Structure 1
Amino acid sequence: MAEPLTRVDSAVQGLSESPPKEKISHRRASSSANNTLLSIKDVWETRTKLQLAPETQKTGWKINTSPSKIDDKDILKKPLVTPLVKSIDLKTNLGMVVTARNLKEGVTIKDALDAIYHKNRKRADDELEKPYLEGFEWYPAHREYDEEKDDEMEEMKQDWHTLIIHLSETPGVSNFGGKKKKKAAE
C-alpha cells in the first residue's frame, strides 16, 4: 500500500509546500482616506484655526449654474480651507445650510460650489435676490469670544463648524487665474 500513485491525483500532486495566501479584500474608501484630513470636530477640539483659500472670493459664479461653467477651472481643485477637513457646513445669511464633503481628499472649492448648486439648481434667476457668490467667511477669524460664558461658547462652537456664504447682486471680478490678454504686435 505504500506504492506511489501513477496517475495525477489532485489531492496529492500540485500542492505547494505552503498553503495559498488568502486574498485580501478591498478596503472601503472611507477607511483608506488620507490620514492628514481632520474632522470638523477635531478642528474644534484642538481649536485649530481655518484659513480660507483666497480664490473663493469674487469668482463671479451664479449659484444656480453648474460650477463647471467657471472660467478658471484650476481653482476648483484647490482646497476650500487649510488644514484639510472632511466636511464643513456652509450657511447663508438667510439661514440656508448645506454641507460640503470630500472624505478622501478634503473639501475642495468644487465640493463647496457643488453643494450650493445642488440646493439652488432648480431656482429661477428671478427667485434669487442675490444670485452671485461673493465669497466665504469664517467668523472666528474676525471675532473675539468670551470663553467664560456658556452661551458664547456654544455660539463659538457653531461658528467654528461653519463658513458663511456671502452673496451679491452683481458678479464679482476674479483677481485670480484666468487668461492674460496678449498685446497685439506692432
Structure 2
Amino acid sequence: MAAEVQEQSAPLSKVDSAIDDAPASPGESKPRHRRTSSTVSGVFNINDLEKEGVELKIAPETQRLNWKVNSSPATIEEKDVLHKLLCHPPIKKIDLHFPLGLEVTARNMKGVTIKDACDAIYKQFKKKADDELENPYLAGFEWDREECYTKFIVHQKKTGDAPSGGSGKKKKAKGGEEA
C-alpha cells in the first residue's frame, strides 16, 4: 500500500502554492499587482515621472473654464474641454492642493482629464452655499516642481469672467497697471 501512495504522488510535478512561494517555472509566475488590462500604455505614475525628472505641462484650458466649484462640472459651457488631459504627459492620479490646506485627488487610469479634476473638486464643494465660498470660481492650476512635484495647487477667484469668445487679453490689459 505504501508503494501505491508513492506512485500517486510521483507524477505531481507542480509545487503547492500553500507550501512553497516559488513558481514552478518562470512562465507560471503570477503578477502581484492589478490587472494589466486596466492600465493604458503612455499613462504614467507621477512618482515615476518625479524620479525621471520629467517636466509636466498643465492644460491652459483650465484657466478659461469660468466654473463655480460648488456647481456640477456638467454646467461648464465648453464640453469638449472636459475630455482633454489635465497635463502632459498623462498621469494616473494627481493630488489637488488648496491654499487653505484642503486636498483632493483626481484619478483616471487612462489619464486624468480636466473633468476628473473638476469632479474631485466638486465632490468637496457641492454642499457649500455660494455665500460660504470666499473664492467660488476656479482660476486654474499651478505646478510647483520645487515645492511638491506630485501636487497641483488649485487657484480660485472671486468672480467668473463674462462669457466671451476672446482669448483673455482684455483682462490682462485692465489688470496690467495694478500688477
Q: Indicate whether the TM-score tops 0.5.
A: yes
Does the CA contact (< 8 Å) of 1:59 and 1:174 recur in 2? no
> Take 2:60 and 2:71, find their aligned partners in 1: how far apart are those partners?
21
**Alpha carbons 1:134, 1:172 under 8 Å: kept:** no
Give the counterpart letter for 1:127 in structure 2: E
CA distance in 2, matches of 1:76, 1:29: 27
Structure 1: runs of 5 or more not aligned: 1-27, 141-155, 178-186
Q: What's the secondary structure of 1:119's corresponding residue?
A: helix
Deviation (angstroms), 1:58: 2.8
* TM-score, normalised relative to structure 1: 0.67
1:170 to 143, 156, 159: 159
Match for 1:129: what amino acid? E
Q: Which has the larger radius of gyration?
A: 1
**Equivalent residue in structure 1 for 2:122, among 97, 105, 117:** 117
Q: Tell me which residue corresponds to 1:38.
A: 44
Distance 1:173 1:134, change over 3 A: farther
Give 1:17's aligned residue.
none
User: Which residues in structure 2 correspond to 1:1-186 (within 5 Å)?
Assistant: 31-32=36-37, 33-103=39-109, 105-140=110-145, 156=146, 159-172=148-161
Give the direction of change, closer, same or farther, for the CA distance of 1:87–1:55 in structure 2 (3 Å limit). same
Identical aligned pairs, as a percentage? Answer: 46
Structure 1 residues 87 and 73 mapped into 2: Cα distance closer, same or farther (>3 Å)?
A: same
Comparing both structures, which one devotes a greater share of its residues to helix?
2
Gap regions ≥5 residues in structure 2 = 1-32, 167-179
Q: CA deviation at 1:34?
A: 0.6
Number of residue-to-residue matches in the alignment: 133
RMSD: 2.0
- Length-normalised TM-score, structure 2: 0.70
Q: CA deviation at 1:29?
A: 8.2
- Taking CA–CA contacts closer than 8 Å with sequence separation of 6 or more, which of the two structures ends up with the larger relative contact order? 1
Aligned AA for 1:125?
Answer: D
Aligned to 2:15: none
